[in-house]
Amino acid sequence: MFSKILIANRGEIACRVIRTARKMGIKTVAVYSDADARALHVAMADEAVHIGGSAVAESYLRGDVIIAAAKATGAEAIHPGYGFLSENPGFVDQVTQAGLVFIGPSADSIRAMGLKDAAKRLMEKAGVPVVPGYHGEAQEIVILASKAREIGYPVLIKARAGGGGKGMRRVDHPDDFADALSGARREAKAAFGDDRVLVEKYVDKPRHIEVQVFGDNFGNAVHLFERDCSAQRRHQKVIEEAPAPGMTAELRAAMTDAAVKAAKAIKYSGAGTIEFIVDASDGLKPDRFWFMEMNTRLQVEHPVTEMISGVDLVEWQLRVASGEQIPLAQDEIALSGHAFEARLYAEDPAKGFLPAIGTLHHLSFPTEATPGTEIRVETGVRQGDAISPFYDPMIAKVVTHGPDRATALNALAEAVTRTEVAGSTTNAAFLAALARDPDFASGDVDTGLIGRKQDELTVTAPPSSRAVALAALAATGATASVASDDPWSGLTGYAHFNPLARRATLSFGGADIVAHITARPDGRFQVRPEGGEAFVLAAGANDVGATVAAWPGHVTVFENGRSFDFAISDPFARAAEIGEGTSSMRAPMPGLVKLVRAAKGDKVTKGQPLLVLEAMKMEHTITATHDGVISEIAVEGSQVTDGTVLVRFED
């Protein structure tokens, strides 16, 4: 077994690998960029090496620098995590040539499955069912459009390299094919350095079901059952579960047999996932599933498999990479109960899931599970850390396990509801709503479920009157003074003749809220928002069913599973904002202006695409908010920060 390994990754997965390595008595070396100098994975590792700038191309994609760090620290092997260099066969070659062990499959196995078109041709030869489509080498638009017509619309354009929904477009009509192809190619080029695509038939009611496989260097390969990853938005997974709801014994046998057959066809070693698309329009049947791709690495959603199998997949990775056989035979791997994983992201579901950034001024996860269940939170951040625009905006993975699907799902909804984040917009309320959705709860899930129900799943309820009162009280500083060690804080509410009164001005959803706060002799406060009812609240600003987090310029109230962020109004800033006017459009997040579709002097209409902003490795189209004439527009190729003016209109 290894005595020391280097983890060529960051965030949650780096922390995950460190925990298992520590349990096995293996020392760890972390690597970090400028942006990650104070990151959790750096603090957890036994050693840490700085490898470059914040951009991934300057750090986490620098294979030569990472290998040099491993050799300098005496690490014997490199664990790639997922993403970054984990599926780069050239990096694997460099690692082995340097005399180190790559904790994962061989470069040949990665090459065999790295390009979707070649992988599908290989699977066809191995007798694995493949989704209908064009997987050839020709990339001319005339040929691709012709193949799309032969396949029949709707079709799916997919980047042949990479995954995660990047470089993927659904096309419903031939007239939209050219634009969709251009967008998919740009995104694929930016994310994977390869703009080649394939075209496939879009399945009307698709289920995304994948099988966890594991191989070793002795020719053995096993499966650890399936996961359902159908709950997706923008082709990216949101909630995963194991086993798949509605799975029949016949389909499970067919899928797991095909998955193991695929792994053996490429002499696979280590953890891998065979992804299938399943047509659920007429139930789950053994002749209605097709191979999509293989992920030659550990998956983000691997914890649900660990929960139902009792297997530590990272431990298996380390053992197999060090020369051992797979610890268990197929008949020794048993399925127990049901597990869910929800991906908690810094993003705004109400704005089309736009990625968000910010400092995590308050961060609290549930530590106790509901009776009869288990809870597990995988994270790479702590309170006070910042969500960087340079990397994926995941905050944590919330995982629950129970004896059956309904119990595990109820535990997930409860766990997400009890998760508190202040300082960045998150998808927590959306996750809770999805977990409680009747269709999802019944197991009637497909990849289009979120899209069909997006409006109702992302509806934002207004804060209650009590939440407003709690926010107003916290805005006065009452929370801080009561919690202070300052001996004079006990006189906060004291006045010699008349009760001490204060006035708090907040902003929520663009509307001003004014509240009057009066200190009472008993140490409590009467809070009365203008035009609303009065509440008597205790100092400390917390209440039954609600908690409050105050942070610079803001107060966040957590109530009934939702968070409400109130801005503490600054009259000077507001005056400046009013004076500037509203005839401009600003960047909703930091990013790169990838494409500009309008020019100064153009007359545009509301909803017209004006430019494409690339942020968090995805493209976002910025459309006109109203009719007007452009007086100024951002330059293509410029890097912008959150709030930068992208477009100005003539008065």
pLDDT at residue 259 is higher than 50: yes
Quick: pLDDT tens for 479-531. 433 333 443 344 344 555 555 677 888 999 888 899 988 888 887 889 999 88
Contact 617, 166 (CB under 8 A): yes
> Of 152, 151, 181, whose CA–CA distance to 169 is shortest?
181
Enter the tokens of residue 437. Answer: 């959705």
DSSP state of 129: -
Q: How many CA atoms lie within 13 A of 172 on its CB side?
A: 1
The long-range contacts involving 490-499, CB below 8 angstroms and separated by at least 24 positions, are: 492/519, 492/539, 493/519, 493/520, 493/523, 493/525, 493/539, 494/519, 495/519
pLDDT at residue 388 is higher than 50: yes
pLDDT at residue 370 is higher than 90: no
In this prediction, residue 490 carries a pLDDT of 41
* Per-chain mean pLDDT for the chain: 89
Contact 269, 289 (CB under 8 A): no
Q: How many CA atoms lie within 13 A of 366 on its CB side?
A: 22
Quote the CA–CA distance of 445 and 247 in Å, as a whole number: 12
Q: How many CA atoms lie within 13 A of 345 on its CB side?
A: 21
In this prediction, residue 486 carries a pLDDT of 42
**In 177-301, which residue ranges form alpha helices assigned H by DSSP?**
177-192, 249-265
* Chain CA centroid to CA 132, Å: 29
- Interval 295-301 mean pLDDT: 96
Quote the CA–CA distance of 457 and 356 in Å, as a whole number: 19
- Interval 308-332 mean pLDDT: 98
Q: pTM score > 0.85 for this model? A: no
Host H or E run for residue 107: helix 107-114
The long-range contacts involving 536-542, CB below 8 angstroms and separated by at least 24 positions, are: 537/469, 537/470, 537/473, 539/478, 539/479, 539/482, 539/492, 539/493, 540/478, 540/479, 540/482, 540/483, 541/470, 541/473, 541/474, 541/478, 541/479, 542/470
Quote the CA–CA distance of 486 and 195 in Å, as a whole number: 61
Tokens 């736009």 sit on residue = 354
Quote the CA–CA distance of 557 and 549 in Å, as a whole number: 6
Active site residue 297: yes
Contact 180, 169 (CB under 8 A): yes
**3-state percent breakdown (helix, strand, coil) of the chain, nearest 5:** 30, 30, 40
Of 274-278, 539-543, 615-619, least confident by mean pLDDT is 539-543
Quote the CA–CA distance of 460 and 513 in Å, as a whole number: 18
Out of 297, 343, 405, 502, which one is annotated catalytic? 297
Quick: pLDDT tens for 450-479. 999 999 999 988 898 999 999 998 888 764
Q: Is the peptide bond before 521 cis (omega within 30 degrees of 0)?
A: no
Quick: pLDDT tens for 167-218. 899 999 999 999 999 999 999 998 888 999 999 888 888 999 999 999 999 9
pLDDT at residue 404 is higher than 90: yes
What is the band of 575 on the pLDDT scale with cuts at 50, 70, 90?
very low
pLDDT at residue 581 is higher than 70: no
pLDDT at residue 7 is higher than 50: yes
Q: How many CA atoms lie within 13 A of 143 on its CB side?
A: 10
What is the band of 131 on the pLDDT scale with cuts at 50, 70, 90?
confident
Quote the CA–CA distance of 385 and 388 in Å, as a whole number: 9
Report percent pLDDT > 70 for the chain.
Answer: 92
Which residues does residue 383 pair with via DSSP β-bridges, in sequence order?
Answer: none
In this prediction, residue 498 carries a pLDDT of 54
Those residues whose C-beta lies under 8 Å from the C-beta of residue 196, and which sit 6 or more positions away, are 117, 139, 159, 160, 161, 188
What does 533-561 look like in DSSP terms, one character per residue? Answer: --EEE-TTS-BTTEEEEEETTEEEEEETT
Quick: pLDDT tens for 631-641. 999 998 888 87
